[in-house]
A and B are shown apart, each in its own frame.
Chain A
Amino acid sequence: MSVRTHDAPPPVRSTPPTRPRRPRPGDGAPHGGRERRSAGGLPYLLLLPALAATAVLLGWPLVMNGLLSFQNLNMTQLIQHVTEWAGTDNYRDTLGSEDFWRVTLRSVLFTAVNVALIMLFGTLTGLLLARLGPRMRLLLCAGLVLAWAMPVIAATTVYQWLFAQRFGVVNWVLDAVGFHSMAGFNWTGGQMSTFFVISLLIVWTSVPFVAINLYAATTTIPKELYEAASLDGASAAQSFATVTLPFLRPFLLVTTFLEVIWIFKAFPHIFAVNEGGPDRLTETLPVYAFVEGVGNQHYGMGAAISVLTILILLALMSYYLRIAMRQEEDEK
C-alpha cells in the first residue's frame, strides 16, 4: 500500500488505500518499488541553486529577524545604524502582554473558522463539479477560475466597494429584501462585521482552489470501485463513504494544511480591508507584528512578535510535517 500525501495539491496523487491499483497502460512502476540509479553528486548539484537561493534570501532574513528580536531597535537606532542589545526584553514584554495572547487566540480561531468554511464549501463545490454535465461544469469552472485569479489587492478594493456604507450594493440588496436597518450599515465599524467581510473575501478567493483540485482528484477514482460497491448492494451514501471519501482523504489532508498555512499568515486581506481595525480588534498575528513593529516604529518588538508568530505556525504545522515526513520515508 502506498498512500502518498503530496505536500502540494495540484498533482493530486493518491491511490485507494483499500483496493489494489488498477493497472493502467503506460503507467510507471509504483513508487515503492522504484529502482533508482546511483546519482553521485548530481542531485546536490541540481539542488544547489534552490538551496542557495533559499538560504541567502530567506535564511538570512530569518536569522537577521531573530537577531533584531533581541535588540532595542526604534527610530533612533534605525536611523543611526546602531545596535543596542536588549537581551530578552522584547520577548518578556510580548509574552507578558495580554494583547499578544488575545491576538494569538484570535488568529487561531480565525484560521480554524476560515479553513473549515473553505474546506466545506470547497469540497461540496468540487463534488458538485463532478456531478455536472460538461457544459455546466465548464461554466462553473470559469466562474471559479475568475474568482481564484483575482489579485488580492484588487479583490479587497472590490469588496470595499461592494460593502461600502454609502452606495454599496450589499447594503442596497439587504435593504431591498427587507432588512431595512442594513441601509447605510457600516461593515467595517464592528469587529464581527469586519471579520465577516474579511472571511467572505478569503473564502471567495480560496474555495476555487479546493474545488477545482478536488474535482480533478475525483476524476481519477476508478469507475470499477463504484460498480463493485453497487454490486455489493451499497447505497449511494455508503459508496460515498467507502469509495469517494477514502480516495480523497489524502488530498483533503494536504489541502487543509496548505490552507491553514495560507490563512494563518494572510496579511493583505486583513490589512487592506480595515488595517486590523476597528480599534485593533481584527488584528491577527502577522498584522499585529506589522502594526507593533513597522507601524509603531518599534522594530525590535515587531521582530520578536514575528519570531513568535513563526514558532506558533511551526507548532500548528508540526503534525502535518510529521505526516509528510513519514510519507517520504514510505517511499523509500
Chain B
Amino acid sequence: MRRGLIAATGIAALMAGVAACGTGGEAESGADGFKGQTLTLWAMDGSTPEQWEKDVKAAFEKKTGAKLKLEVQQWNGIQQKITTALSEPDPPDVIEVGNTQTPAYAKTGGLADLGDLKKDIGTDWTESVNKSAVYGGKQYAAPWYTVNRTVIYNKRIWRDAGIDKTPRTRAEFFDALDAVEKKTDAEPLYLPGQNWYFFDGLLIGKDAGLIKKQGGKWVSNLADPKVGSAMKLYEKYASYSDAPKDKDEATPQQAEVFAKGKTGAFIGLGWEAATAVEANPEIKKDIGYFTIPGESADKPEGVFLGGSNLAVAAGSEKQELAKEFLKIALSDKFEGALAEEGGVIPNKHSLQKKVEGNPAAEAAAPAVAGGGLTPLIPQWAAVENPPNPVKSYMTAVLKGKSHAAAAESVEDEINKRLSQKQ
C-alpha cells in the first residue's frame, strides 16, 4: 500500500537517489571472503582513541578485506537508541554497551551468543570484569575495558595556591581545595550536582549500595543512613564548586569547563583530559592526575568501576565478520594499545603493565581494588533512564532537602522502575 502511494507521488526515485548517496565505495583486496562488506561499529564518545582507531581499522581491512565504519554515540539517550536499533532489520553489527546496562540487553535476546568467542580468545579475561557480560550462564558480550575516575587537576593553579604535593587523604584534599579557594581566583573543584558515578563511588567507599534485595525483590536503598553520610561527603565536595546542582558532568562537558583554565580540578575519566586538550591545547602541560584519596592514606576512596563491553547484534547478518573484528580489537596487541593510549584498564591481567607510563591510568589503578558496580541485574538499566531518580535525589539534597526526605521522594520511582514489567 505504502509503496504504491510513493510511486504515485513520483518523488520516490529522486528521494531514493538522495538516500542512497554516500553508501558503497570500492572494495579493497583482502584475505578472506568479506571483500566489499562494511562492518558498522557503535562506540561511545571517548572510547576509541585516535591512533587506536586508525590502527584497528587498518588491521581489520587488511585481514578481512572489509571496511569498518565507526559511528560515535553520545551517552544521552543511548538506551533508547540501542533498543530500537536492535529491533531493526539492519542493526549496527557491533555495539559498545555499558557494563551496568549489559544484563538488560542480554535478557532481551537482542545480543548474539558469544560463547565460542569466549572459548577462542577469552579464557584469560578477568573474571570480575567478565561478569557483566554473562547473563543466565551465557556469554552475551565481550569485556572491552574498565575505567574509574581520578582527580584531574590543573598543576599551574595548584602551584599558584602554594600546594607542592598531591593529597594522600581526604582531609589533605580538602585542605588543598581550601588553599585554591583562598589563594587563587579559580574555582577549586568543578563538580555538578548529578555526577552520580562519583556519588556511587563514595557509596562504595561506605560499603553501601543504591538498591538492595528485600524479600526477593530489588528496592531502593537510598534511605540507608550510610547513603546519607556518602551524600554529606558529596555535598562537601560540591561546596567547592559553582557548577549547576541540577546538571551532570556531561552538560556541559566538564572537561571543556576545565579547559578554560579557571578550574582547579574535576573528578573525571582519563580520556576527558584529551577532550580538554582538544578544546584548548594550551592546557596540556598543566594537567595532572591523582587517585581520589580516601579517609586514610592506605585506602583510596571507593570508585565506580565503569566499563564497556562489545556485543554483536543478534540481528546482524555479518556475525562472522563481527567476530573477526572482535578478535582483532580484543587481541593482546590492540587491547594493550587501547590501555596504553586511552589509559583504561584492559580486560586481562596480563596486559595491566601496558598502562604504565600513562599518568591517568597510574592514578586510577590504586583504587580498582576498592571499586564496585551497581548490581548486575536486567532491572537496573531502567533506573538509569532519564530522568534518573538517583540524580534527582542528589539535586534535592544539594538544594537543601534533608537526606531522608530526598530519599523518600524518589523511592517510589526507583521501586517502580525496578519492578517494571520486562
Do A76 and B5 touch (CB < 8 A)? Answer: no
In the complex, A277→B84 CA distance in Å?
A: 25
Do A79 and B387 touch (CB < 8 A)? Answer: no
**Option from A56, A79, A276, A278 in Cβ contact (under 8 Å) with B109:** A79
**Option from A166, A188, A295 in Cβ contact (under 8 Å) with B80:** A295
A125 to chain B, nearest CB (A): 34
A227 to chain B, nearest CB (A): 54
**Option from A81, A165, A277, A294 in Cβ contact (under 8 Å) with B87:** A81
Interface membership of A75, Cβ < 8 A? yes
Do B87 and A74 touch (CB < 8 A)? Answer: no
**Option from A279, A294, A296 in Cβ contact (under 8 Å) with B417:** A296
Interface membership of A280, Cβ < 8 A? yes
- Mask, B217-251, CB within 8 Å of A = 1, is 00000000000000000000000001011100000
- Mask, A258-300, CB within 8 Å of B = 1, is 0000000000000000011111100000000001001111100
B105 to chain A, nearest CB (A): 8
**Option from B2, B5, B245, B385 in Cβ contact (under 8 Å) with A186:** B245
Given contacts A52-B5, A297-B382, contact A74 B387 (CB under 8 A): no
Do B386 and A297 touch (CB < 8 A)? Answer: no
Do A78 and B84 touch (CB < 8 A)? Answer: yes
Closest residue of A by beta carbon distance from B105: A75
Binds A, one of B136-144, B271-279, B391-399: B391-399
Interface membership of A189, Cβ < 8 A? yes
Do B110 and A79 touch (CB < 8 A)? Answer: yes
- Mask, A77-89, CB within 8 Å of B = 1, is 0111100000000
In the complex, A291→B389 CA distance in Å?
A: 13
Give the residues from 65 to 104 in chain A that come closer than 8 angstroms, CB to CB, to chain B: 72, 74-76, 78-81
Closest residue of B by beta carbon distance from A278: B246
In the complex, A188→B194 CA distance in Å?
A: 14
Which one of B107, B417, B421 has the highest number of Cβ atoms from chain A below 10 Å of its Cβ? B421
Q: Which residues of A contact B382 (CB under 8 A)?
A: 296-297
B157 to chain A, nearest CB (A): 19
Q: Which residues of B contact A81 (CB under 8 A)?
A: 87
Do A79 and B108 touch (CB < 8 A)? Answer: yes
Closest residue of B by beta carbon distance from A294: B80
A133 to chain B, nearest CB (A): 47
A65 to chain B, nearest CB (A): 16
Do B385 and A295 touch (CB < 8 A)? Answer: yes
The total of interchain contacts (Cβ-Cβ below 8 angstroms) comes to 77
Q: Which residues of B contact A75 (CB under 8 A)?
A: 83, 104-105, 108, 110, 422
A32 to chain B, nearest CB (A): 38
Given contacts A75-B422, A76-B109, contact A56 B84 (CB under 8 A): no
Which one of B2, B80, B242 has the highest number of Cβ atoms from chain A below 10 Å of its Cβ? B80
Do A297 and B2 touch (CB < 8 A)? Answer: no
Do A277 and B246 touch (CB < 8 A)? Answer: yes
A160 to chain B, nearest CB (A): 11
Interface membership of B146, Cβ < 8 A? no
Do B108 and A295 touch (CB < 8 A)? Answer: no
B74 to chain A, nearest CB (A): 14
**Option from B5, B104, B242, B392 in Cβ contact (under 8 Å) with A166:** B242
Given contacts A189-B245, A189-B399, contact A297 B80 (CB under 8 A): yes
Given contacts A56-B1, A295-B385, contact A79 B83 (CB under 8 A): yes
Give the residues from 185 to 215 in chain A that come closer than 8 angstroms, CB to CB, to chain B: 186, 188-189
B residues sitting closer than 8 Å to A (CB atoms) are: 1-2, 5, 79-80, 83-84, 86-87, 104-105, 107-110, 242, 244-246, 382, 385-387, 392, 395-396, 399, 409, 417, 420-422
- Given contacts A79-B110, A80-B109, 14 further A-B pairs with CB under 8 A are A75-B422, A76-B109, A76-B422, A78-B87, A79-B87, A186-B246, A189-B244, A277-B246, A279-B396, A291-B387, A295-B386, A296-B382, A296-B420, A297-B382
